[in-house]
Each structure stands twice: as structure tokens, then as C-alpha cells.
Amino acid sequence: MVGMVGVTSGRASPGVSSLTVGLAWALRQRSINPLVVEADHSGGVLGQRLGLPPQPSLSSMVRDARRGFDPKMIFDNSVQYEGVWYLQAPVDPVVAEAAVDGFANLLGSGSLDLNTPSLVDLGRSSKSRAWEKMVAAVDNTLVVTTPYLEDVQSSRFTLRRIAELGGSAQLVVVGDQPHSPQEVADSLGVGLLGGIVHDSEIASVFRGGGFDQSKFKKSLLGRSIDGLASRLLGGPR
């Protein structure tokens, strides 16, 4: 089962938010109702990309939980879009950092049990305590990278930090040049969940206040992300 899966990257590797949304869409096609948690301490973007209202958000959920946590608070503070629940981060980085930290504390204390398949957008790896707490709280972290040397090197440090925090990780490689996804994974000594097509035009369906499901579903990018979702559920590699 999926459990709670984080998605992050080092440097400026593309696709953390797009992959998170794409995986959620793929799970929804399998009659699974996933929750997307935008736990990016640098500020939220999903609301603007998908055309969601700015409230409720992760901040309002953390605020409500201070009075005593009830599992329904998660969905009371989420917005449903195309069959997927989104618990979005505030846009302001300062407010987002505090919200992610508070959410991570709830997870770490055991008082918050998501009890639903969840995909957590962790944003770019950093020295932020909020990022570190979230990595320690999720069941598995997908590290997104391209096959280019500078991104692979950055992913090496990200993977090392995840291991130091007691987390587990798998690699997702965007593109297959100049090295194949398996070659990249072998060089990093980490398990490969899979590779996805690098297609910036199709990835743009996640931007601009909407998500064109039909365009995405027919694309190579959509099909490759669908394959990742199958593997997350224990399907064939």
C-alpha cells in the first residue's frame, strides 16, 4: 500500500509538485482517494497552479488541531479537486515554514494519523528543521533528479541526509539522457522506482489554474507516471 510517501529533490531538479499531482491523479484512476499534503516550507504553489481557493490550508488545520485533534480536521481543511483532496501550504514562506513545522510535530507526536494514502510534496531539500521532521515522518521519500551530473551529485547529498534522518528513499529520474535511470540509481546506490519522460509542454498542464486530464492521460509523461503509481502499489516494475 502507498502509506505516506514524500516527494523531494535536490538543487533545481524539475517536477516535485508535478509528480506529486500526477501520482495522485494516477491513484484516483484506480479508485483510490488520495490526500495530497503540500508540505513545502518555501511556500505553496499548488493552489495557484490548480486554481484552488487560498483557504483552508495547512495553517488552518494546524491551528484547529491545537484545540484537540480530530481526524476530520484534515478534510475540513482540504479542498477537493478532480477527486483528490489537497491540503495546501500557505504561499507566504514564513507562514508556510511554521505550518509545515506544526504539521510535522503533530505527525511526530502520534496525535495525527492520516489513515489514508497520502502524497506529501516536500519541495526542495534544505537544512530546514521542518523539512527534516517531515522526511522522518513519512514512510518513504521519492527523490526526483535528472540524469545530469550536477543534479545527480545534489541527489547524493539529499539521499545521505534522508538516511541520516532514519528515512528510506527511492529514486525517480526525469529523462534518460545522458544516462539511463538505472545507471543513475546504480551510481547513487539507491533503489529505482522508475523513470519518467521529460516533457515540459505536457507538464504545463499542472500550471495556469487548471489540470487537463485528457491531455495528460494520453501523453508519455502521464503513462510513465501511471507506471510509477502501479509500482508504489506493489505492481510489476
Q: What is the pLDDT of residues 125-170, one digit of tens each?
A: 998 999 999 999 999 999 999 999 999 999 999 999 999 999 999 9
In this structure, CATH architecture of domain 4-232: 3-Layer(aba) Sandwich (3.40)
Torsion sign, CA atoms 182, 184, 188, 190? negative
pLDDT at 142: 97
d(CA 33, CA 24): 8
In this prediction, residue 28 carries a pLDDT of 92
| Residue 55 pLDDT | 93
- Nearest Cα residue to 4 out of 20, 22, 17: 20
In which residue are the cell numbers 494519523 written? 113
Q: Is 128 exposed, middle or buried, given 0-12, 13-18 or 19+ CB atoms closer than 10 A? A: middle
Which stretches in the chain have pLDDT values below 50? none
What confidence score (pLDDT) does residue 64 get? 92
Q: What is the pLDDT, as a whole number, of residue 106?
A: 87
Q: Give the span between the Cα atoms of 61 and 103, in whole angstroms.
A: 8
